[in-house]
Amino acid sequence: MSTDTRERKAERIRHLLETEGEAVEENTLGFNEGRYESVADLEEYEALKDRAREIKEDAIERLPELIEQLRETVEENGGTLYLADDAADANRYIREVAGENDADRVVKSKSMTSEELEVNEALEADGVDVVETDLGEWVLQVADEAPSHIVAPAIHKSEAEIAELFNEQFDPDEPLETAEELTMFARERLGELIADADVGMTGANFITADSGSIMLVTSEGNARKTAVVPDTHVAVAGVEKVVPSVEDLAPFIELIGRSGTGQDITSYVSLLTPPVDSPVVDFDDPDLEFADRDDDREFHLVLIDNGRMAMREDEHLRETLYCIRCSACANTCANFQSVGGHAFGGETYSGGIATGWEAGVHGQDSAAEFNDLCTGCSRCVEACPVKIDIPWINTVVRDRINREDGGQFDFLVEGLTPDEEPGGVDLQKRLFGNYETLAKLGSATAPVSNWTTKLGPVRTLMEKTVGVDRRRPLPAFERTTLVDWFEDRGPRVSAADADREVVLYPDVYTNYIDVERGKAAVRVLEALSVHVRIPSAPGSGRAPLSQGMIDTADEKASRVYASLAEHIDAGRDVVVIEPSDLAMFRSEYEKFLPESSYERLREGSYEILEYVYGLLENGADADRLRTGDGERAPDIAYHSHCQQRTLELDRYTRAVLEDLEYDVLESDVECCGMAGSFGYKEQYYELSMDVGDRLADQFTTPETSDRLVVASGTSCEDQLEDLLAREAVHPVEVLDPRSRHH
């Protein structure tokens, strides 16, 4: 990516932060909070997600057969099923239906698939008046804007902005002001437009092959009117919406609203088996009793392939087809919460899973536009009702984008980047992907390397060449690495005297930069009678993986395993300080290592506070650590790490600190915004700070502003220090018997 492109990107993000950021933030945070509350009430939440996943897996597996079954049922019911290869094919068919019905107006309920087709434009070209009846979609149609969210398309607009828009466009007798007034105005106006419509077009959240029914999840009631008022109903849906039977709908009905906007259930879940028995509502014949009508309803189900069948054959993109478009992955995403779908989205889709959809239906270029905004924080993974590994899809597509174009080949960087990647990888990605090599070099040449990187001209150069934002302080390398230090010092608890033996994994950051937290970890473990070893081991592969350099990460995984395998065989526990590296061991390594190796490492590795918790539970003497009731012991403002939370490990840190009598307040933001290299990148620096502000706000309240800032992740520590200009430490540094932090 060139300097210009980076600057344009930064400019666009800045603009969205200023114009839409506030409304997007308020709404997505509301949805996200609602989700947490709503799923907490659901007794069988995990089992329901498993069931939902199973149904989708099975349906996609059997898709061709289900489509044929559906065709038969729809035809038996008296409707037509048209399987469209692509958008043009679908639009042609829909235009024909409109033409045969001499349609002057088509009313629509909300459908992302219809946005994918751009069917409105196609119909309008034939002179058909197309009206969106979902209030949010209608606002956008009036404003001529694109949706910023897949479920709540107009969340980037405030009440006041909509009022201004309507007052300008429609010039009502009394200017509109409140949401209530705006809604009633829209209801009336749209009601008239629906009454006169010739064709109603809906999407479908699910389609059941056994009955030919479509399920529509709505709140307003416009989809109900759209489907039954006119005599012709066209439903458009991706082929992936087909499930085998009506009974399969139950888990989705319970999950979709909760996961998306945090409602237990939306007002209306329509289960229509068209052509429906309901009478056509013909307001031109106001006195004809419904019961006396003899309607001949028409129903067309237009199923769209548009790349989906190819996605089904793609081992990595296939999971995307399980997506039920609930929007949880958007609402839970810290970056999305700041900029919304106009930045975090492609031609049609937005949010975490949009990369999969865009790459599949519109092609990689559309995905490339925003794919970088996924930082791999993984908070969406537990939120997704069908358990899609969304960050993995983002990583795979990033890897493919890296490989796609020739790109620059820089021979200086090539020397610095002993990776497994082809020459085309973007220079900036390559630099961060090879952070380990840089850290090694920086450490070997410290303190000179640190002085150099503080120099203005050097920062300017770094910004120009590789896009490291000059406003972001760079971490200082330590001359003596953790491994060196420990080699000199040696263990203080011998294996013979020890209750347990630990290999402390020297992650890149702890080894070269924050050596102090490594030393603290050693002292804490030894205070609890553990024999510690620190082998020399390569980086986990997190850094290259987050740049989409999958082969390099894969190769690192093998080397890490090789360096730890013997220890695991000897019954030693692997303890990891950096949560993002532990997350590699526990999650991503499943894709890189043979199954049994992965299992062994996963079962044999622990996050440092998780391990301390286990030791204390098993009778280790807590008094040998620094406790919270001692003199000058600090009160704590704690920020857990995104991936640590996804692994459900944050509770151990909290439990240990509280058991040791510390007063702890914990943040509840999804991510600090730094996310490894993300916050260093020139084009994303401001977004990163905006995301961080939500965290900073929580740590500058009267209850938190005097507390010691504690964070489990490296990135989070750096980000908090930058944001708050206060020192931030790892929890293990608090517990260190030698700790002076207060």
Q: Cα–chain-centroid distance for residue 377? A: 7
Interaction site with another protein (CB under 8 A): 77, 133-136, 139, 152, 154, 157-160, 162, 178-180, 182-184, 186-187, 190-191, 208, 210-211, 213, 219-222, 224-225, 228-229, 245-247, 249-250, 253-254, 261, 264-274, 276-279, 281-283, 285-291, 293
Give least dist CB 284 to another protein, A: 8
Q: Cα–chain-centroid distance for residue 556? A: 25
Nearer to ligand SF4, 109 or 327 (CB): 327
Nearer to ligand SF4, 119 or 388 (CB): 388
Nearer to ligand SF4, 384 or 577 (CB): 384
The yes or no reply on residue 367 touching ligand SF4 (CB under 6 A) is no
**What backbone phi and psi angles, to 5 degrees, belong to 127?**
85, 10
Give least dist CB 113 to ligand SF4, A: 14
The yes or no reply on residue 385 touching ligand SF4 (CB under 6 A) is yes
The yes or no reply on residue 384 touching ligand SF4 (CB under 6 A) is yes
Instruction: Determine which residue in the list 327, 646, 688, 719 makes contact with ligand SF4, applying CB under 6 A.
Output: 327
The yes or no reply on residue 383 touching ligand SF4 (CB under 6 A) is yes
CB-side exposure of 345: number of CA atoms within 13 Å?
24
Q: Are 530 and 501 in contact (CB under 8 A)?
A: yes
Q: Residue 556: which of 573, 572, 538, 529 has the closest Cα?
A: 538
- Read off the DSSP letter of residue 344: S
The yes or no reply on residue 323 touching ligand SF4 (CB under 6 A) is yes
Give least dist CB 332 to ligand SF4, A: 8
Residue 265 interface partner, choices ligand SF4, another protein, none, CB cut-off 5-8 Å depending on type: another protein
Give least dist CB 514 to ligand SF4, A: 34
d(CA 343, CA 341): 5
d(CA 82, CA 89): 10
Residue 38 interface partner, choices ligand SF4, another protein, none, CB cut-off 5-8 Å depending on type: none
Instruction: Determine which residue in the list 13, 84, 377, 386 makes contact with ligand SF4, applying CB under 6 A.
Output: 386
Amino acid at 552: T
Tell me how far CA of residue 182 lies from CA of 189, 282, 323, 619, in angstroms.
Answer: 11, 26, 33, 64
Give least dist CB 3 to ligand SF4, A: 34
Residue 329 interface partner, choices another protein, ligand SF4, none, CB cut-off 5-8 Å depending on type: ligand SF4
Q: Residue 6: which of 551, 490, 372, 356 has the closest Cα?
A: 372
Nearer to ligand SF4, 151 or 708 (CB): 151
Amino acid at 121: E
Amino acid at 140: L
Stated as kind and residue range, the H or E segment containing 461 is helix 456-466
Token pair belonging to 702:
């009267």
Residue 450 interface partner, choices ligand SF4, another protein, none, CB cut-off 5-8 Å depending on type: none
Residue 326 interface partner, choices another protein, ligand SF4, none, CB cut-off 5-8 Å depending on type: ligand SF4
Q: Could you tell me the maximum CA-CA distance found in the chain, to the nearest angstrom? A: 96
Residue 388 interface partner, choices ligand SF4, another protein, none, CB cut-off 5-8 Å depending on type: ligand SF4
Instruction: Determine which residue in the list 390, 431, 438, 583 makes contact with ligand SF4, applying CB under 6 A.
Output: 390
Nearer to another protein, 246 or 565 (CB): 246
d(CA 233, CA 240): 20
Give least dist CB 259 to ligand SF4, A: 6
Left if phi > 0, otherwise alpha if psi is -120 to 50, otherwise beta: which for 519?
Answer: alpha
d(CA 108, CA 125): 17
Quick one: which segment of 238-246, 317-325, 431-439, 655-663 binds ligand SF4 (CB under 6 A)?
317-325
d(CA 512, CA 267): 55
Q: Residue 653: which of 595, 729, 706, 597 has the closest Cα?
A: 729
Q: CA 535, 553, 411 angle in degrees (round to 5)?
A: 105
Tell me how far CA of residue 246 lies from CA of 69, 71, 213, 271, in angstroms.
Answer: 14, 16, 8, 9
Token pair belonging to 469:
């934002």
Give least dist CB 631 to another protein, A: 50
Nearer to ligand SF4, 393 or 620 (CB): 393
Token pair belonging to 220:
């307003």
**Residue matched to tokens 């002179």:** 127
Give least dist CB 380 to ligand SF4, A: 6
d(CA 698, CA 704): 7
Quick one: which segment of 64-72, 103-111, 325-333, 662-670 binds ligand SF4 (CB under 6 A)?
325-333
Binders of ligand SF4 among residues 258 to 297 (CB under 6 A) are: 259
Beta bridge partners of 530: 500
Q: Are 263 and 38 in contact (CB under 8 A)?
A: yes
Give least dist CB 678 to ligand SF4, A: 20
Amino acid at 414: E
Residue 735 interface partner, choices another protein, ligand SF4, none, CB cut-off 5-8 Å depending on type: none
Quick one: which segment of 82-90, 385-393, 551-559, 657-665 binds ligand SF4 (CB under 6 A)?
385-393
Residue 77 interface partner, choices another protein, ligand SF4, none, CB cut-off 5-8 Å depending on type: another protein
Residue 180 interface partner, choices another protein, ligand SF4, none, CB cut-off 5-8 Å depending on type: another protein
- Helices H / strands E in the chain, number of each: 38, 18
Residue 253 interface partner, choices another protein, ligand SF4, none, CB cut-off 5-8 Å depending on type: another protein
Tell me how far CA of residue 221 lies from CA of 216, 257, 590, 736, in angstroms.
Answer: 10, 15, 45, 60
Residue 390 interface partner, choices another protein, ligand SF4, none, CB cut-off 5-8 Å depending on type: ligand SF4
Q: Residue 11: which of 684, 469, 467 has the closest Cα?
A: 684
How many chain residues touch ligand SF4 (CB under 6 A)?
17
Residue 296 interface partner, choices another protein, ligand SF4, none, CB cut-off 5-8 Å depending on type: none
Instruction: Determine which residue in the list 97, 353, 553, 637 makes contact with ligand SF4, applying CB under 6 A.
Output: 353
Tell me how far CA of residue 214 lies from CA of 53, 106, 222, in angstroms.
Answer: 19, 19, 15
Quick one: which segment of 160-168, 221-229, 323-331, 555-563 binds ligand SF4 (CB under 6 A)?
323-331
d(CA 179, CA 304): 36
Give least dist CB 290 to another protein, A: 4
Residue 323 interface partner, choices another protein, ligand SF4, none, CB cut-off 5-8 Å depending on type: ligand SF4
Nearer to another protein, 214 or 553 (CB): 214
The yes or no reply on residue 325 touching ligand SF4 (CB under 6 A) is yes
Q: Residue 698: which of 729, 662, 661, 668 has the closest Cα?
A: 668
Interface residues with ligand SF4 (CB under 6 A) are: 259, 323-329, 352-353, 380, 383-386, 388, 390
